[in-house]
Amino acid sequence: MTILDGKKLSDKIKTQIKHETQLLKQQGITPGLAVILVGEDEASKVYVGMKEKACQASGIYSKVYKFPQTISQDELLNTINQINNDDTIDGLLVQLPLPPHINTTEILQAIDPSKDVDGFHPYNVGRLVAGLDSFAPCTPLGVMELFKEYGIDVKGQDACVVGASNIVGKPMQALLLNEFATVDICHIYTKNLAEHTKRADIVIVGVGKINLITADMVKDGAIVVDIGINKTKDGKLVGDVDFKNVSKKASFITPVPGGVGPMTIAMLLKNTIKAAKLHLK
């Protein structure tokens, strides 16, 4: 069994990004990332803080727009419009979730697709599904980078993606299909989940349920990627996979923490550099 070490790979990618940032600065370009944070959600504040810290370490200009929970949709749209027209900003992301009175779809659609480093705009979603160059969502993109780093060729492999969200499951399916994997995608209404996961060469899960995937649900030698992040009653961070027992059967497996999580931040930086290069052209 081999651990897919996202922390180690993300550090390697961040070093590459720091070098690319320096090269861009020599051409008079400082890559810039803007993050919009609405409300006081603790998890969101932690994520935004991590992104800000990673930008600083990489030499990327970072600006965080913090708004109260009560901000109106029009105010938020006006801010996005301002950032869209700000030449010092190459990437823009809106930290989710947003308050219930805000229409998330409209907010994401308002982002300039060339600055959509989260890959959530319908334009980029469509290009991804069509197999065209686009900004892909950072978490599934990070999974693909892990596969590449560890020499895992998904072509012809049977993959089962558990979770069908727009942020992880659906783009994960598209990225795998683009690399010629055969993809089975499951969700909350799937009948007998184990039937799907048992026959998969690759199992990728991200739904937010502790121990959803147990050892009897995966075949010997399966590649298991755990995108889930949960807190136990004693405050320990765990994923959706019963790591202790599943790892005994898996050929490759991601830990939580230290697996996919660090890769998400690294891919955000990579997408920001990509946006800066596009704007330079």
Contact in structure between 149 and 9 (CB atoms under 8 Å): yes
Average pLDDT over residues 263-281: 94
Among all chains, which residue has been given the structure tokens 């600083």?
Answer: 56
Catalytic residue among 5, 90, 116, 118: 118
Task: For residues 2 and 44, give the distance between their C-alpha atoms in angstroms, rounded to a whole number.
Answer: 31
Cα distance from N-terminal residue to C-terminal residue, the chain: 44
Task: Read off φ and ψ for residue 7, nearest 5 degrees.
Answer: -65, -45
What single letter denotes the amino acid at residue 144? Answer: M
Q: Are 34 and 63 in contact (CB under 8 A)?
A: yes
Among this protein's residues, is 95 annotated catalytic? yes
Task: Give the other-Cβ count within 10 Å of 21's Cβ.
Answer: 22
To the query of whether residue 118 is one of the catalytic residues in this protein, the response is yes
d(CA 65, CA 34): 7
Choose the catalytic residue: 5, 14, 51, 240.
Answer: 51
Residue 14 has pLDDT above 90, yes or no: yes
User: Does pLDDT of 281 surpass 90?
Assistant: no
pLDDT the model gives residue 51: 93
Mean pLDDT of 77-89: 97
For the chain, what is the mean pLDDT? 96
What is the model's pTM?
A: 0.95
Taking the CA atoms of the chain, what radius of gyration do you get in angstroms? 19
- Please, which residues bridge with residue 2 across strands? 252
Query: In this structure, which topology does domain 28-113 adopt according to CATH?
Result: Rossmann fold (3.40.50)
DSSP 84-95: HT-TT--EEEEP
pLDDT in tens, 114-167: 999 999 999 999 999 999 999 999 999 999 999 999 999 999 999 999 999 999
Helix-helix angle 42-58:260-280, to 10 degrees: 50
Catalytic residue among 14, 90, 95, 226: 95
**Domain residue limits, the chain:** 28-113, 138-260
Order of strands, edge to edge, in the sheet holding 182-186?
2-3, 252-253, 223-226, 202-205, 158-162, 182-186
Report the pLDDT value the prediction gives residue 110, as an integer from 0 to 100.
98
User: Cα separations (Å) of 157 from 91, 117, 176, 203?
Assistant: 34, 29, 9, 11
Domains 28-113 and 138-260 share a fold: yes
Q: Would you call 187 helix, strand, or coil by DSSP?
A: coil
Confidence at 280, pLDDT banded by 50, 70, 90: confident
Considering the four listed CATH numbers 3.90.330.10, 3.40.50.261, 3.40.50.720, 3.40.50.1100, the one that applies to the domain covering 138-260 is 3.40.50.720
Identify whether 220 is a catalytic site residue. Answer: no
